[in-house]
Amino acid sequence: MIRLLLIYTLLFGTLATHTSCEKDAVAAPIAEKELYISSELVTTVPKSLLQSLAVADGYGVYANDIKYGVSVYRLQYYTSYQGKEIKASGLVCVPQGMETAAPVISAQHGTIFTHNDAPSSFTGLSGFELFAAAGYVTLIPDYIGFGESKHIFHPYYDQKHSALAVVDMIKAARGFYREKDVKTNEQLFLVGYSEGGYVTLAAQKEIETNPSHQLKITASAAGAGGYDLTHMLSGITSGQAYTYPAYLAYILQAYNHTNSWNRPLNELFQEPYASKLPQLFNGSNGGSAINRELTTNPQKLFTPAFYNGLKEADKELVLKQALQDNSFHGWAPQSPTRLYHGTADNIVPFENSQLTYDRFKAQGAPHTELISINGGTHSTSFVPMLQSLVPWIKAF
């Protein structure tokens, strides 16, 4: 199998600075036979080109691991949002001419802000094609709010919608496999970093706690996700600067839309930020561009009433309950699971994964590990995570 290091370096290079939630009532999954809508061949990439790509990017030693050309398809499927059926999308990368049944990897991307960054937009080779070149059918969900569902404000760090977007694509892909005569085996891997780490655990929880999906996870690896949102809140109200304020604006707007709270933005954010946000989050601005228009001081970003309400125990209870519900409490992974996190991460603190891991172990997680990356930041922890992850996945 080709190194995941190469794959993630190629695809996630522009996402490495992105950060990348748990609800008791999960919408009933749509029947599998209804999930697959259609697919469209986007491109085919010959084995020789993929080998050349590996060599050109300094990974020629792994070129021999590339055993197949790859067909890349854009897939449309049904999932649900706010209890209603919607169309969603993603990419499926298939090894060409593989004679044995292939395992499946669902790879969850980190935080994106622009519609052009959605996997199904496919503005060029993503790097995930190399998973397929090594013999893995690779699914890359767009998530709700991108691709076919770009008219919806992305439900950022919402556990229910994060989970179903992934699980429904995994199930819908079965219809694609039958249509295209793609042979897969029973192995299913989940992998993600930053928001993708959070989405990975959300999908894992949904699969493990809902047998009706008829899915079994072989192994799961999640890196640097904000799994405990109440812990994240305590950091925001500590009085310290937050270096990526676009995330704060993202999650508050997402919760406002997803939960139909319809709170005026000027009730949450000070001016001039409140008036800027709709245009900043119109799908054409990246995270860095949004950050330049905001402030890293939460006390200046949020209105005094809202900021003080976040700190006071008896205020902003609806929001605080939503953060609690979308954190990973009351569940522990049963499949082999690894959490990775850099100890110098100032976007999602290492303590967030430590608290989550401790909770998982206390609740009886039998096969969960926490791998700390000493000195790793949110952007530099990809490489050591994947260097460790590759042999672990290969062992299955």
Q: Tell me how far apart the alpha carbons of residues 74 and 342 are, in angstroms, rounded to a whole number.
A: 33
pLDDT in tens, 230-256: 999 999 999 899 999 999 999 999 999
Structure tokens at 212: 């009706």
Tell me how long the chain is. 396
Q: Is 290 helix (H, G, I), strand (E, B) or coil?
A: helix
Which segments of 134-264 does DSSP mark as H helices, in order? 159-180, 195-209, 229-236, 245-258
Inter-residue contact 358 to 389 (CB < 8 Å):
no
Backbone CA torsion sign across 272, 273, 274, 280: positive
* Residue-level pLDDT at 24: 37
Return the sign of the alpha-carbon dihedral for residues 265, 269, 270, 276. Answer: negative
| CA–CA distances in Å: residue 265 to residues 247, 274, 305 | 15, 5, 13
Arithmetic mean of pLDDT, 32-51: 88
Taking only the tens place, the pLDDT of each residue in 136-169 is 999 999 999 999 999 999 999 999 999 999 999 9
Residues 291-346 pLDDT 10s:
999 999 999 999 999 999 999 999 999 999 999 999 999 999 999 999 999 999 99
Indicate if the pLDDT at residue 376 is higher than 90.
yes
**Residue 355: CB partners within 8 Å, gap ≥ 6?**
228, 231
pLDDT digits (tens, 9 = 90+) for 99-149: 999 999 999 999 999 999 999 998 766 666 777 888 999 999 999 999 999
Confidence grade of residue 14 (pLDDT, cut at 50, 70, 90):
very low
Residue with tokens 């084995």: 47
The whole-chain average pLDDT of the chain stands at 89
Domains parsed from the chain with CATH numbers: 4-227+335-394 (3.40.50.1820), 230-324 (1.10.260.160)
Q: Side-chain half-sphere of 318: how many Cα atoms within 13 Å?
A: 9
pLDDT of residue 385: 83
Higher-confidence position of 36 and 64: 36
User: Is the predicted pLDDT of residue 59 greater than 80, yes or no?
Assistant: no
pLDDT band at 25 (very low <50, low <70, confident <90, very high): very low
Query: CA distances (Å), 37 to each of 133, 160, 383, in order?
Result: 25, 22, 36
> Does the predicted model carry a pTM greater than 0.85?
yes
- Which residues sit opposite 84 in a β-bridge? 81
The residues, ordered by sequence, that sit 6+ positions from 171 with a Cβ below 8 Å of its Cβ are 29, 32, 35, 213, 215
Calpha distance 275→393 (Å, rounded): 47
